[in-house]
Every structure is written in structure tokens, then in C-alpha cells.
Amino acid sequence: MKAAAFLIFLTMISFVTFGQTDKSKRPSPPDSVKVTTADGVTIAIHYSKPSLKGRQLGVDIAPVGKIWRMGANEATTFEVNKNVTIDGKALPAGKYSLYSIPGEQQSTIIFNKVWNQWGTKYDEGQDALRVEVSNTSTSTSQEQFTIMATPAGIVTFTWGEHAIPFQVKASKK
């Protein structure tokens, strides 16, 4: 009898433990994009997709002028297999977390060396690169934050009616 009760207890613990690890059930589900560019750079980005849910972008969420974690949940990761340039600025091959400082006309994209952490943890002293990029707009509003990457090496963050693109190229050095 004790063995049966113990087995039931273990089964219940398993359901609770494994049920909580299903990240697809989160309000901000995980997503990823992976592309190999025409110049041979493999870009892999893993992130979670928050939704606007009636909130105003730049005010209620991803506030203008303040550090934002570029997604939800765990830190968004950006990985490249070769040394690259991001809009002309050097970034060594490796894995980084992505943050930004949203702006009205331009935003700062931040590549941080600490990637294996919760997204709200940020240490400016660990920044590998900061790049100023121009904001653009989209023709339709997008409810969920989305990251896209093309074989031409263009990575674009879109949300609401806003888009923030940047260029990734293999380093010549």
C-alpha cells in the first residue's frame, strides 16, 4: 500500500513539474528565427512574443528612452557563428542577449555578453555592442512582438506599427 501511495505521489509531482515547463502555454510564447545569410553567417534568435493587449507601445510597454528586454520571459538571445558587423560596427562571433532603448526616431540595439538569464536582469557593464538604428513603420499593426531575419542579413523587430531593422554582415577581417 505504501509503495502504491508513493508511486501516485511521484506521478503527481511529475505532472506538476513537467506541466510548468511547457513554455508554449505562456502568455508570451517562445519563438525563434534562424537563417544563413548570403555571406555565410548563421543567425539564430530565440525570444518570447509579448502582446500589446491594449497597452500603448512606448508608454505602457517598451517605454521610450528606457532599457527594454526585446521580448518577454528569459533574455532574448542573438547568436552568430562568425565575426560580423551590425550596421557597420564589429561584433565577435558568439551568443548575446538583446536589449534596446526605444526612441522616437532612432533606437539603440544592445548586444550584451550575459545571455543565460531572465530578461529583466541587465548589466550595462557587460555590453558587447550598442548600435543606433533608425525606426521605420509598418502598414499594418502587429499585436505580438516579432523578429524576422532574411538571407540578405536584415534583422527586423516589429510590433504595433513600428519596425526596427538592422544589417548583419560577415566581417571582412
Is the pLDDT at 115 greater than 60, yes or no? yes
- DSSP classification of residue 169: E
Dist CA 55 CA 136 (whole Å): 20
| Cβ partners under 8 Å of residue 59, min gap 6 | none
Q: Yes or no: say if 41 and 78 are a contact pair by the CB < 8 Å rule.
A: no
Is the pLDDT at 5 greater than 60, yes or no? no
What is the pLDDT, as a whole number, of residue 146?
A: 95
Tens of pLDDT, residues 101-111: 999 999 999 99
Dist CA 80 CA 121 (whole Å): 22
What is the pLDDT, as a whole number, of residue 60?
A: 84
Tens of pLDDT, residues 8-44: 554 554 444 444 577 777 678 898 999 999 999 999 9
Tens of pLDDT, residues 47-88: 999 999 988 878 888 889 999 999 988 999 999 999 999 999
Mean pLDDT across the chain, nearest whole number? 88
Reduced to 3 states, what is the DSSP secondary structure of residue 84?
strand
Q: How confident is the model at residue 173 (pLDDT cuts 50, 70, 90)?
A: low
> Which helix (H) or strand (E) covers residue 13, if one does?
helix 2-19
Is the pLDDT at 164 greater than 50, yes or no? yes
Amino acid at 164: I
